[in-house]
Homo-oligomer: A and B are copies of this chain.
């Protein structure tokens, strides 16, 4: 089953205004609000719409430091322990298995360099599987969004 143009318009609208009311969207797209509610419920059920969240200003919350850490794993048998560490560490926002020089690319948000050091030297290097790491500190962020380029007909 495919997405029609109304589904895409709803997804696009909620990407920008995740708390838009069904009646707002109903008016904007010229359908009834139960129709919007139904579409959204179905998108949720299909797992396309996974949930609702907020965009935060990390620096205002004391998170002034963002870093990307490339991690090479040596002992592949300890990979589950590494992934469990990643899962349990709230400062690690993203963890991707990637091609290229490192095995995993981590996006980390932390309060300061002391906390970053803690994560690299104790958290990551403390994992039996972790070999080399390479850290790139974010100096500034020009763009950061979750939006996907959806093209409603």
**A contact residues vs B (CB 8 Å cutoff):** 3, 11, 14-19, 46-58, 60-61, 63, 66, 68, 83, 86-87, 90-100, 102, 104-105, 109, 134-150
Contact = CB atoms under 8 A, between A and B. Distances in A.
A90 B146 contact: no
A18 B54 contact: yes
Contact of A15 (B56, B92, B102, B147): B56
Given A16-B53, A53-B146, A136 B100 contact: yes
A57 B53 CA distance: 14
* Oligomer: number of copies: 2
Contacts of A134: 100
A55 B58 contact: no
Given A55-B51, A148-B58, A150-B61, A94 B143 contact: yes
Given A98-B137, A98-B138, 8 more contacts: A3-B61, A14-B53, A15-B56, A18-B53, A18-B54, A94-B143, A98-B136, A100-B135
Nearest to A61: B148
Contacts of A138: 96-98, 105
17 contacts: A11-B61, A16-B51, A16-B53, A18-B18, A48-B56, A48-B60, A49-B54, A51-B54, A52-B52, A53-B55, A55-B146, A61-B148, A83-B142, A86-B142, A97-B138, A97-B140, A100-B134
